[in-house]
Chains A and B, each alone.
Chain A
Amino acid sequence: MRRREMEKEGNRKTCSAHGEMSHDHCISLVPIFNHLTEEQMVEISALTHAVQFRKGETIYRAQEPSNALYIVSRGKVKIYRISDSGKDQIQRILTPGEFTGELALFSDDLHDAYAEALEDVEICMVKREDMSELLLKYPTIAMKVLSEFSRRLEASEKQSTRIATEKVETRIAMYIAETLDRYGEEGIVEIPMKRKDLASHLGTTPETISRKLLELEEAKIIEQLPGNRIHVLDLDALLLV
């Protein structure tokens, strides 16, 4: 256990400088792999390769062939679609440990969305053939992948129910409350996307978001801080919006 912690520490330091180490880092980080034994992780490490992207770079485009699983090990990635009328809608934001490209796991397919690096990003890629083999060899990985899928499906169903049934202020309030609960500290949360992206995610416009945030601020429910951060003053009131 002690040794493992030390190794982890080592990985963190050398991760960007040292290719070899960052593989381990990326495998041990991801929920779909991190329950495996050290030996098994080493085996999987051999199958992954790390790729870096700068902030703003496109990782893949819709209609490009999709043949690998992309696991984020550092930074944030946005997955979005573009409608025929040219509007883009954010599907989700991937944080370290989350993955995309899962369609590739089950079919020889084309990407159905775009992926763009929101920050400097490091991604571990596992080729489709390798991933299929791993899924067969370690059923627990398959279980983890399935549970991640069901979590995602549920989030997406919830999101579409909300857009259809809830008022825009409720959508904004719930988004803040949930993001705070997941990533916030001491009542303060950084919104992980730009105003424009948040608007498309919540099915509204940036102007409406600004106006509604101001209303929440006037009601002493939240306080807007510099750097796209929000201080939640009254979480119960926020949930009741």
Chain B
Amino acid sequence: MKKLVMQLEQLTCPTCVKKIETVLEKTEGVETSTVLFNSSKVKISYNEEEVTPKELNRKIMNLGYDVLSMKE
């Protein structure tokens, strides 16, 4: 199990949090995800054999949020 933190652009709606978490948690290989609304950070625990950080990054970009940086 690996973990990563993404810094997103400033989130503007509290419901975005739910949207991002739901999409991530439906993704194969993602164990848990937590979005911090005010700091606009996403924490993801994932299984590196099933999903890569790059794919997770793309998931979030596809929802319309810019990923500014990523840490593992």
Contacts and interface: CB of A to CB of B under 8 A. Distances in A.
Interface of A: 158, 161-162, 165-166, 174, 177-178, 180-182, 235-236, 239-240
18 contacts: A158-B32, A158-B34, A165-B32, A174-B34, A177-B36, A178-B34, A178-B36, A180-B39, A181-B37, A181-B38, A181-B39, A182-B38, A235-B41, A236-B5, A239-B5, A239-B34, A240-B71, A240-B72
Interface of B is mostly: strand
B59 interface: no
Given A158-B32, A174-B34, A236-B71, 19 more contacts: A166-B32, A174-B43, A177-B36, A181-B36, A181-B37, A181-B38, A181-B39, A182-B38, A235-B41, A236-B5, A236-B7, A239-B3, A239-B34, A239-B36, A239-B41, A240-B3, A240-B43, A240-B71, A240-B72
Contacts of B32: 158, 161-162, 165-166
Interface in B24-72: 31-32, 34, 36-39, 41, 43, 71-72
B3 A165 contact: no
Contacts of B34: 158, 174, 178, 239
Contacts of B37: 181
A238 to B, nearest CB: 9
Contacts of A182: 38
A240 B38 contact: no
A177 B37 CA distance: 11
A240 B36 contact: no
Nearest to B40: A181
Nearest to A174: B34
Which of A165, A177, A236 has the most chain B CB atoms closer than 10 A to its own CB?
Answer: A236
Nearest first, the 7 A-B pairs at minimum CB distance are: A181-B36, A239-B43, A239-B5, A181-B38, A236-B5, A236-B71, A240-B3
Nearest to A182: B38
A231 to B, nearest CB: 15
Contacts of A165: 31-32
A236 B4 CA distance: 9
A75 to B, nearest CB: 23
Nearest to B14: A151
B8 to A, nearest CB: 13
Contacts of B43: 174, 177, 239-240
Nearest to B22: A154
Contacts of B38: 181-182
Contacts of A240: 3-5, 43, 71-72
Contacts of A235: 39, 41
A182 B31 CA distance: 23
B15 to A, nearest CB: 10
A165 B4 CA distance: 17
A181 B4 CA distance: 18
